[in-house]
Structures are given as structure tokens and as C-alpha cells.
Amino acid sequence: MADGRRKKQHFGRIHSFSCGRASFNGLHSLIGGPGFSRIVFCNDPECFEAGQLKYGGNYVRTTKYTLATYFPKALFEQFRRVANIYFLICAILSFTALSPYTAFSTVFPLVVVVGVTMGKEAVEDWKRKRQDIEMNNRKVKFHRGDGVFDYTKWMDLKVGDVVKVEKDEFFPADLILLSSSYDDAICYVETTNLDGETNLKLKQALDVTAKLLDDSSFENFRAIIKCEDPNANLYSFVGNMLLGEHQFPLTPQQLLLRDSKLRNTDYVYGVVIFTGHDTKVIQNSTAPPSKRSKIEKRMDKLVYLLFFALVLLSFIGSIFFGITTSEDLENGVMKRWYLRPDDTTIYFDPERAPVAAIFHFLTALMLYGYLIPISLYVSIEIVKVLQSVFINRDLNMYYVEGDKPARARTSNLNEELGQVDTILSDKTGTLTCNSMEFIKCTIAGTAYGHGITEVERALARGKEAPLVQEVVEDVEEIDETKPSVKGYNFIDERITNGNWVKEPRADVIQEFLRLLAVCHTAIPEADDETGKISYEAESPDEAAFVIAARELGFEFYERTQTSISMNELDPMSGRKVARIYKLMNIIEFSSSRKRMSVIVRNEEGKLLLLSKGADSVMFERLAQDGREFEVQTRLHINEYADAGLRTLVLAYRELSEEEYSEFNEEFSRAKNLVSADREEMIEEVAEMIEKDLILLGATAVEDKLQNGVPECIDKLAQAGIKLWVLTGDKMETAINIGFACSLLRQGMKQIIINSETSAIRALEKAGDKSAVDVAAKANVIQQISEGKALLSVASEDSEALALIIDGKSLIYALEDDVKDMFLELAIGCASVICCRSSPKQKALVTRLVKVKTGSTTLAIGDGANDVGMLQEADIGVGISGVEGMQAVMSSDIAIAQFRFLDRLLLVHGHWCYRRISTMICYFFYKNIAFGFTLFFFEAYASFSGQTAYNDWYMSFYNVFFTSLPVIAQGVFDQDIAARFCLKFPLLYQEGVQNVLFSWTRILGWAFNGVLSSTLIFFFCARAMEHQAFRKGGEVVGMEIFGTLMYTCLIWVVNCQMALSINYFTLIQHIVIWGGIALWYIFLLVYGAMDPDISTTAYQVFIEACAPALSFWLVTLFVTVATLLPYFSYAAIQMRFFPMYHQMIQWMKNDGHSEDPEYCQMVRQRSLRSTTVGYTARFSRSKLELPEQV
């Protein structure tokens, strides 16, 4: 086994000067104290001492319920709804003599409603449970004993187990690296799921454990690890290992985190130190919250309002009842003798009228219960589930390449999708594809490359850029004939296929391509079968440079610790020749240096300094005679930035032997320092040599956005939705992506808040942590104050600002006494980008926006580092990307690509919000109409507690005769077709501003319900009270009057629904008119039953109502008269005060929907000075162009 260990070159050797070995520092002295008390018995998890510690297992649960908590938690969820509490009280009272109807008719609907909703919750949680089962049952090799490794499930791992993880497997828990397949015990780890970064991280085991070469080595291995307690910090770790009599320090360099992946390493051995919910990735997540939409919360307030109305009506009725009852028997004289007040129960006893009034109050509370729609909740649950089915089956949100449809994992928040005010998005894997493409370059002042970026494509697809459109079409024709190479999208016949040798400045092009092929830290790997060389690089853009050099004739194929070998195209012979460059030094990239350099000696013996870096630091390091192409290069760099590309400037110079010798001596001395000044000393020495450079040109790579991201962001921005980017990436990377997806634009002022100041660095060097905290916080507060001052000036000038803040500054910005200032500044900016954010910070920022603004927030991400953010937001959207399922498992809705977000919100969100809002308003309308007819009849009958309708009439009102139309409306109605929702994004603001479920609209519908019930009752009463109804001259009885009034009510509420619908389907016709027809069929069937069953409805339709012409005339008259007020209001409102969706409907009906100029005029309402996106970017540049001219 030992012979099989890999000996090829790797990052560890390339960066040997920076890796260093672990040493004890101040924090190690804390081990054993508070917060540092964990003890791990390596390879002996079953020992007595380990058993006493009682560490948790490795089982991870993301479900909302367990078997034990399901019933109490689910019942609590149901009875958080005030309506259900009320109906529970009514169900209990229905078993007493106070009930105006039977107990079964009260209890059964409540059981059905609560049961159906709890069942839905159980099904949704079971889906989460199945995903947990899949993860917890993954297999990993662990040391069973006697040097034998066998497979076990993740969930069965214990603290102290030694595991063997193989290439491309995820780590099942937090491990300490013991050894690997490499001879110096290093391994490469991909942490995309944790911090969103795609570059590989280098980890290295302790020398003392590196000799554990194979499975049998662990037979007698025993050690004790003492370390910090479980915490959420991904980037720190303090511990030590006691092996034999010696103690060795442990640092983050040995820590392998759960959900990161082993790459480019055949296998590693590690010991489990944190399991399950103690692992750092789970510590960064929070328990799945029970989320409720804002509409549902407002609906509870509405139920409170109706309950208040119910109590008020009952109170009024009971007072009148008590007064009337007390007057029934005065001085032995009976006023209403036919009621026999001298021989009655306590409920009608004139001598105890106050008690009778109290009992009547309780009866009335149950009788008027139809004001509160018990079926509303279950109807909404049904509608939301069906809406979720439509979301899941929308082919326009189906990702063909990955065979992944959209998936609504919970249906509770459908309408919330139509009210999103702020989106908080991860970057890597969410906005981008985790890949870079070399697309353009400028060499010797000449621009090369016809590739088109996503931003340029987005502009060209609009009609604003016809010239760019022609270029796009030409390039796409070339694209079809060109085989694709990952990381390379360069198209220019002047330079490809060796044609660069014919260019006027071929000598500069040669140096440029040579620099690309040499100045890097990539590792070549040759495929054993095809011989094709691939590269593993620390960052995707570095890989793109090496691939571009290879494709253009400079193929890097081998690296040793001291040399770089490549086949390069010789311009003289036109053939490839092998050349070896001796690698002298690597001065690596850092965020403060913003550049990287290598020093090599070529075959002629010349010493060359090859350097690449950001234009902000490279141009100032050019020699006076090295600036020949500076003007043209700067111009091209600005053009590339406008296209959303990341640029690096390339320059070089020759070194003399004396200069290099002096530099190398100083550089070696700085590298070997072990003090805190080490990095600073290295930078100072590098400054000495990185000067007087000769400019060659600049590269432009595209941080490849996912398809359709710029268009999606543009649509969302026009809809008035703010987008914040929360990323673990460096600030420079995040800013480049901001430009790429048009969150940032040229000329937009950037408020940058960071903690990298010379004063703070000096304090850090001094080691005074408290002083550093005070200074850093004061610095952040000062920068925020300056930003607010700039914001007030910009608001006067209608300028857009961008806020960019790093993770260190965010720590202080989120403190209680600063966060309000920070939020005020952030809300005033058009774009907000938070860099180097930890998962906890992402969640805290999300909570800050959600709680302080009160607006609806949506978080979207693809990795485990986004879980806290997804759970904290009102809506969590998981990207079901290539890596991991943590985000999807913790999300409310899963989509495969960010570009589907515009359709999810602008189409489904708008429709769901409109449907649910209208549905709830209509539900309360029809129940108010129904309840007030009962109240008016009660008043008519001296508040005696007598119901106007047969018991089964009332039971079936919400079940059969009026519920199906409202469910159909909630599922199928469309005010605007999907393409118009996307064409006119501002329509979405109807949901954000909640215009369809405002108190004004709710009270308007409530008034309509009271008006309808008033007209129905009094028209029916006046028409039938003294009018002969049958041939014998009899007037109507209560059973006929109740049937007539109920018939009018069914007609009115169903026709009201027909008037409210915007988009009729066959199903809606069937349920509306079928509901009315069903009422007549029910009357026939129910009236034909035995009188003991049908009671007051026996033969009422056949014998009394149907033969009477007045029954049909009154029904027609009352229906028309009752609907006329609403019809008149709707016609006037649409004609003279149209809402935005009605304007679009008018435009469509008038034939203007295909007129580009007319549509553009309407869409311009979406653009404001602070709007981001490429449309606003282009409009802004058109406005600024005349000023520049």
C-alpha cells in the first residue's frame, strides 16, 4: 500500500514557503478550560472514558416533526389559527342544549378541516424525512478493529472513529486529517457546500501521523485529542493531539469539515471529532422554522375582526332578547301568550330574563358562527397544493440538462412569492456556474476576441442594441462549428491556429502567451488513455489562463518543484518545440497585493520576472519605457468591465543577476520568519522587485454566469425587487460579478466598507485584540456615516449607489447599536454586496432585513453555507445544483437555475398572490352575506335563536354550493397571461404593495357582503310577507321563506364569483353554474326523503316553490338588484381609475400589446434612477452619452 502513495507534484510543494508547520500559539493554552473541553479518544470510541462523555451521534435531522412531537406540534400549528380555536369551543358547546343545531354538524367539519391540514403537513415532512434517510444512510469506511476497515452508515459513526474517505466522496463528519495517499500527507478539499468557493483548499496532516500508510497501520494506533467545543466558526480550530508521551498542536490545516469533498486525492484517513449536530456546518444552520405568510397572518386579524362582529351581534341580540323575554309576563299577564311564558324552561323564563339572555348569547355565538368560514383554511390548503402542482409541472422552469423540475417543497408560502421586496442571493453556484472562460484579451494595444458575454447577450436580445445583435448572431454561427473547451471561449482568427505569428507585434504576443503558460500555480494531469492534459488550479480563472495558452500554442505539460515544461509554438519554424523554464521563485497572490509574480530562468539563461494583477496596482509599477500600449489597454479594460468581464494586466521585465541575488536573499529571509510580521515582510521584499515592468496587455475572463442570470435580474429589478448578494468570496470577485450581472454599472458610486486600514493592521501586529475591536468598530461606524452623507447627496441628484462591505466589517455592522445605521444605508443603495460573509452572517443579515423592514424577504442559495439564510428568510429557495443537497433540503422551494426565479415570482408569485387574496376576500364576502341573513332573520323573529335555514342547508353552504367556485378561482384565474407578466414586470408591485389584500379592499368586500345580505333579506321579506303564495291564498311559511332566501343567496354569491373572474375556463363554468344546479337537485332529492330526515325541507320545492311563479320572479329580481351595485362600481373603477393590471388588459384588448413603442412607454414606468439591471444600465448610458459628448 505504501508504494501506491502518490508522488506527483502538488500545491503543497508549490507553496511550501507559505504552508509551514503547526506550532503552539496563545489559544492552545486555553485547552481544557471553558469552551475548550472536548476530549476525543482516537480509534477507541467504545472505551469507558469515551462512554462517560456522552457525545451525540452522527444522525442529522432536518424535519419539522418527529413521531413524538408530531401530534402536539401539528395541533399547536392548527390552533394558532384563531378560527380553529373558536370552532373548537363551539364543538364543545354543541353537546349542550344551547346549540341551535346538532353536535355532529359542528364537530365533523372541524375534525375534517384540522385532519386534512395535519395530513398535508405530515406528507410534506415525510418527504424531508426521506431525504434525511438518504443522507444518513450513506456509506463510509471505518476502522472496525485489527487493522480492518469496513463500510458503515454515516449515522452510525461515533466520536473517535477512524474513517477512510476516498476520492470525490463527502466527509461524513468533522475529521482531523491523519494521513493521505500523498507521501507528505496532504490532500485537496473542495468546500463549495460550505463557503461557496470552487478553488481547492490544501490540508496537511501532522508529520507524526503521516506514517500511518495503510489500513493495517491503525491496528495499534491510539491517541487523545483535546480541542475546542462545538461552535459555528468554519475558519478556526484549536486543539492538540497527545500521542505517546508527546503533544502536538492542531490547527485548521488538519480539520476536514462535514459536507466538503475530497478532490484529487485517492484517499485520506481521519478521526471523527465532531458528529451530527455538533459539526460546524450544522452549527451554522438553525432548526426548520414554521413559516406563515403575511396574508395568513392578516387573515387571522380579519378573523379577530369578524369574531368581534360576531360577539357584537350576539350581544345586541341577547339584550333585545332579554328585554323582550322580561316583558312576556308582567303582573301575571302574558304578553306573548302563545309562547306560554308561564310554563317554560330557563332559556325563555321571563322571571330569570338576565340568565336567559346570557344563555341566548352563547346560542347566538354558535348560530352566527357562519360569519367565520371554517372551510376557508382547508380550501386554501387545497388551492395551495394544486398551485404547487402547477409550479412543479411548469415546463418553463424545467432544467432539461439536469432533468430537474421546479419543486415546491411546502405550499404554505405560495402567495408570499408574489410579495417579495428583497432577494438575498448567494453568488457561487447560484448566480455563477463555478467556471471561468477566457473570452477576450488586449495585446500590444490591439483588442482580440469576438466572444460575447452573458451581459452583452442580454443587451442584444432586447431591441436596444441592434449592432451588438448582429455580432451575437455572427459569433453564434462560429460557435456552432467550434468544438467547446471548458474554460475557453476565445474566437478570433487573427490569433488562433498559430495565425498570431503574422501579426505586426508577434513578439509581444509571444511574450504574452508565454506569461500565461508560466505565471501560475496550476498542476497538469495527463489522462492515461487519451494523453489529454487537464489542469487543477487553485482558482478557476487561473485554470482558464493555462487552458487559453494551451489552445493558442503554448502547452504547459509538466511541473517539478524547480521547473516548468511546455511545448510552445516557435514563430520562426512554425512548429512546437519543448522548452523548460527553471522556476526560481513564486510570489503568490493575496487580496492586499492584488497580483502574482514568478521568477524563471529561460534556456538562454535570462532571468525573467513575469507578473499579472489588477490594473489598479499594475499600471503604477510600469517603467517609463514600458507604457507604450497603456492608453489603448486602459480603454480596452474599461470596455471589458462594461461587458462584465474580469480583467488582469500582464507585464514582465528582465532581471540582472545582481538584482535577483539581492532579492532572493531578502525573500528567503522573509519566508523563514516565524513572527506575525512574516506576510508583511514578504510583501515589502516583493515591492522591491515588482517594478519597472513592461506592459504586454490584459486578459478578460468571464466569471461564467448561469444562463439567463442578467435577464432574470433585469426583470426582477424592473419589478421593483431589491437584490442583495451575500457571498463568501473576495471583494474583488464579488464586485466583478456585480458588474457581470449588472447589479453594478460604470459610473455608479461605490460605498466600500472594509477593515483593512493601516491603523488596524498596526494594532493587529501589536496583538491588542480589544484595541483592534474598538478601532475596527469605530472605523465601520465612520464609514457608514460617510456613506449616509453620500446617500443624502445622491438622493437629491437621483443617483444610484452601491454598498459593498466585507465580512470583518459586517461583524461590527450587525451589532445592536450599529445595525440600524447600516440597514438605513443599505436600503438607500440600489445594490448591496456583502463579501467574505460566514453562513451565520448571511442568516443575521437576512433576519435584520426581514425584521426591521417588515417586508417579505427571499433567500436563494445552493450550498450548505446558505442553509441558515434560507431558513431565516420568509421564503427560502434552494438551487438544486451539481454539488450537495443541503440547501434544497432546507428550502421551501427548489429550482434548478437562478434564471427560473423571474417566472417563479413574476408569474406564479403574482398569480398565487392574486388568487389567494381574491379567494379570501370572496370567502369572507359570502360568509358575511350568509351570516347577516341569519342575523336579520333573528331580528325578524324577536332574537329567539331560531335558524332561518334547514340544518343541512347550512352544513352544505360552504361544502358544496359555494366552495368549488372559489377553489377553481384560486387555482385557475389569471388577470394577465404569463408572457405579459414577464413583459410588464412592474405589475408585480401590486403584490409588494399589497393592494389586493389591503384593509380598504377587505372592508370593501365586507361591505359588499353586508349590502348583499341586506338586499336579499329585505327584498325577499317585503315580497313574501303579505303576498299570497299558493292557490289557496296562504302566505309563505318559514320553510318556504328560508328556501327562497337561500336560493337567492346561492345565485348571488355564485354570480358574484362569475363577475370577479378574469379568465374563464371550462372547469370554472362547470363549478359556478353546476353549484347552482346542484342546489336545485339537492332540494329535489333531500325534499323527497322521509320527513324525519328532511324536516322543514320535505317536498318544499316540488309542492310549494317550483309551481309558484313568484318564487322564480323574486329570485331573478333579487339576484340582479343585489349584483347591480358591485357591477356599477367595477365598471366605473376600471374605466376611470384602472389599476396597473387593468391598464394592461385594456392595452391587450385594444391591440396595443404587440406595439413595441407603446409597450416601451408602459415599461418605462418600471425604471427609476436607482433601478439596476442591464436595461437600466443601457438607459443610463444613453442619458449620460450626450453629457460626455
Q: Which of 758, 801, 753 is nearest to 777 (CA)?
A: 753
Catalytic residue among 174, 195, 278, 426: 426
Edge-to-edge, what's the strand order for the sheet holding 38-42?
38-42, 223-227, 239-243, 246-250
User: Residue 1175 pLDDT more than 70?
Assistant: no
The answer to whether residues 421 and 857 touch, using CB atoms and an 8 Å cutoff, is yes
Buried b (16+ CB within 10 A) or exposed e, 85-123: ebbeebbebbeeebbbbeeeebbebbeebbeebbebbee
pTM greater than 0.85 (yes/no): no
Q: Which of 316, 314, 307 is nearest to 373 (CA)?
A: 307
User: Residue 7 pLDDT more than 50?
Assistant: no
Q: Tell me, letter by letter, the H, E, C secondary structure of 721-789.
A: CEEEEECCCCHHHHHHHHHHCCCCCCCCEEEEECCCCHHHHHHHHHCCHHHHHHHHHHHHHHHHHHHHH
**Average pLDDT of the segment spanning 732-754:** 79
Degrees, nearest 5: CA angle 232-235-240: 90
Q: What is the pLDDT of residue 21?
A: 45
Q: Which of 1156, 1144, 1149, 1165 is nearest to 978 (CA)?
A: 1144
Question: For the segment 926-960, what is each residue's pLDDT rounded down to a tens digit?
Answer: 989 998 998 898 888 877 777 888 878 887 888 78
The answer to whether residues 1036 and 1029 touch, using CB atoms and an 8 Å cutoff, is yes
Question: For the segment 551-587, what is each residue's pLDDT rounded down to a tens digit?
Answer: 999 999 988 878 999 999 888 888 889 999 999 998 8
- Residue 322: CB atoms within 10 Å: 22
Edge-to-edge, what's the strand order for the sheet holding 432-443?
446-448, 432-443, 694-705, 646-655, 607-613, 595-601, 576-587, 563-569, 554-559
Range in 269-278, 378-387, 388-397, 937-946 with the lowest mean pLDDT = 937-946
> Which amino acid, residue 45?
P
Dist CA 561 CA 1095 (whole Å): 99
**How many CA atoms lie less than 13 Å away from 235 in the CB half-sphere?**
10
User: Residue 796 pLDDT more than 90?
Assistant: no
Q: Which of 1003, 1019, 921 is nearest to 970 (CA)?
A: 921
Q: What is the pLDDT of residue 246?
A: 87
Q: Which residue has the cell 492534459?
A: 533
- Of 474 and 1067, which is predicted with more confidence? 1067
> Which amino acid, residue 553?
G
User: Residue 1021 pLDDT more than 60?
Assistant: yes
**Average pLDDT of the segment spanning 489-493:** 91
> Which amino acid, residue 704?
K
User: Residue 83 pLDDT more than 80?
Assistant: no
User: Residue 463 pLDDT more than 60?
Assistant: no
Q: What is the pLDDT of residue 746?
A: 67
Confidence of residue 336 (pLDDT cuts 50, 70, 90): low
Q: What is the pLDDT of residue 837?
A: 83
> What angle, rounded to 10 degrees, do the helices at 375-392 and 82-93 form?
140
Confidence of residue 886 (pLDDT cuts 50, 70, 90): low
**Average pLDDT of the segment spanning 745-769:** 75
The answer to whether residues 161 and 45 touch, using CB atoms and an 8 Å cutoff, is yes
Kindly report each contact of residues 541-545 with a partner whose C-beta sits within 8 Å and lies 24 or more positions away, as own/partner: 541/436, 541/646, 541/648, 541/701, 541/703, 543/436, 543/487, 544/436, 544/437, 544/438, 544/487, 544/488, 544/701, 545/438, 545/516, 545/520, 545/612, 545/699, 545/701
**Average pLDDT of the segment spanning 113-136:** 84
Residue 99 corresponds to which cell in the numbers above?
346549540
The answer to whether residues 215 and 222 touch, using CB atoms and an 8 Å cutoff, is no
Dist CA 964 CA 1070 (whole Å): 10
Average pLDDT over the chain, rounded to whole? 83
**Average pLDDT of the segment spanning 516-537:** 84
The answer to whether residues 753 and 787 touch, using CB atoms and an 8 Å cutoff, is yes
Helix %, strand %, coil % of the chain (to 5): 50, 15, 30
Task: Please state, for a pLDDT cut of 70, what percent of the chain lies above it.
Answer: 85
Burial of 549 (0-12, 13-18, 19+ CB in 10 A): buried
Range in 268-272, 391-395, 761-765, 771-775 with the lowest mean pLDDT = 761-765
Confidence of residue 196 (pLDDT cuts 50, 70, 90): low
- The most confident of the ranges 64-68, 356-360, 901-905 is 901-905
Edge-to-edge, what's the strand order for the sheet holding 749-753?
407-408, 893-895, 875-879, 856-861, 420-425, 722-726, 831-834, 801-805, 749-753
Three-state DSSP state, 271 = strand
**Average pLDDT of the segment spanning 235-254:** 86
Is 426 a known active-site residue?
Answer: yes
Question: For the segment 410-422, what is each residue's pLDDT rounded down to a tens digit?
Answer: 888 899 999 999 9
Degrees, nearest 5: CA angle 1059-1060-1066: 80
Strand pairing partners for 652?
610, 694
Confidence of residue 162 (pLDDT cuts 50, 70, 90): very high
Degrees, nearest 5: CA angle 402-406-408: 145
**Average pLDDT of the segment spanning 1004-1011:** 94
The answer to whether residues 702 and 453 touch, using CB atoms and an 8 Å cutoff, is yes
User: Residue 351 pLDDT more than 80?
Assistant: no
Q: What is the pLDDT of residue 287?
A: 56
User: Residue 48 pLDDT more than 70?
Assistant: yes
Pairing relationship of beta strands 646-655 and 722-726 according to DSSP bridges: unpaired
The answer to whether residues 545 and 516 touch, using CB atoms and an 8 Å cutoff, is yes
In which element (H, E) is residue 701 found? strand 694-705
Pairing relationship of beta strands 201-204 and 595-601 according to DSSP bridges: unpaired
Q: What is the pLDDT of residue 598?
A: 95
Three-state DSSP state, 144 = strand
Q: Which of 535, 569, 554 is nearest to 436 (CA)?
A: 535
Dist CA 209 CA 223 (whole Å): 10
Q: Which residue has the cell 325578524?
A: 940
User: Residue 46 pLDDT more than 90?
Assistant: no
DSSP letter for 856, please: E
**Average pLDDT of the segment spanning 810-836:** 90
Dist CA 969 CA 978 (whole Å): 17
Burial of 1029 (0-12, 13-18, 19+ CB in 10 A): buried
Strand pairing partners for 6?
182
**What does residue 590 show for φ and ψ, rounded to 5 degrees?**
-145, 160
Q: Which residue has the cell 437555475?
A: 897
User: Residue 465 pLDDT more than 60?
Assistant: no
- Residue 343: CB atoms within 10 Å: 7
Confidence of residue 1054 (pLDDT cuts 50, 70, 90): very high
Question: For the segment 622-668, what is each residue's pLDDT rounded down to a tens digit?
Answer: 999 999 999 999 999 888 877 768 889 999 999 999 999 999 999 88
Pairing relationship of beta strands 595-601 and 607-613 according to DSSP bridges: antiparallel
Q: Which residue has the cell 512554425?
A: 574
Dist CA 812 CA 821 (whole Å): 11
Question: For the segment 1069-1088, what is each residue's pLDDT rounded down to a tens digit?
Answer: 999 999 999 999 999 999 88
> What angle, rounded to 10 degrees, do the helices at 104-136 and 70-78 form?
130
The answer to whether residues 379 and 113 touch, using CB atoms and an 8 Å cutoff, is no
- The most confident of the ranges 180-189, 367-376, 767-776, 1001-1010 is 1001-1010
User: Residue 358 pLDDT more than 60?
Assistant: yes
User: Residue 2 pLDDT more than 50?
Assistant: no
Q: What is the pLDDT of residue 15?
A: 44
| Cβ neighbours for 863, distance < 8 A, ≥ 6 positions apart | 192, 193, 194, 195, 196, 426, 428, 429, 883, 884, 886, 887
In which element (H, E) is residue 811 found? helix 807-813
User: Residue 898 pLDDT more than 80?
Assistant: yes
Question: For the segment 683-710, what is each residue's pLDDT rounded down to a tens digit?
Answer: 889 998 999 999 999 999 887 778 888 8
Dist CA 108 CA 90 (whole Å): 12
How far separated are the first and last CA of the chain, in Å rounded? 72
Dist CA 410 CA 125 (whole Å): 9
User: Residue 1180 pLDDT more than 60?
Assistant: no
Buried b (16+ CB within 10 A) or exposed e, 984-996: bbbbbbbbbebeb
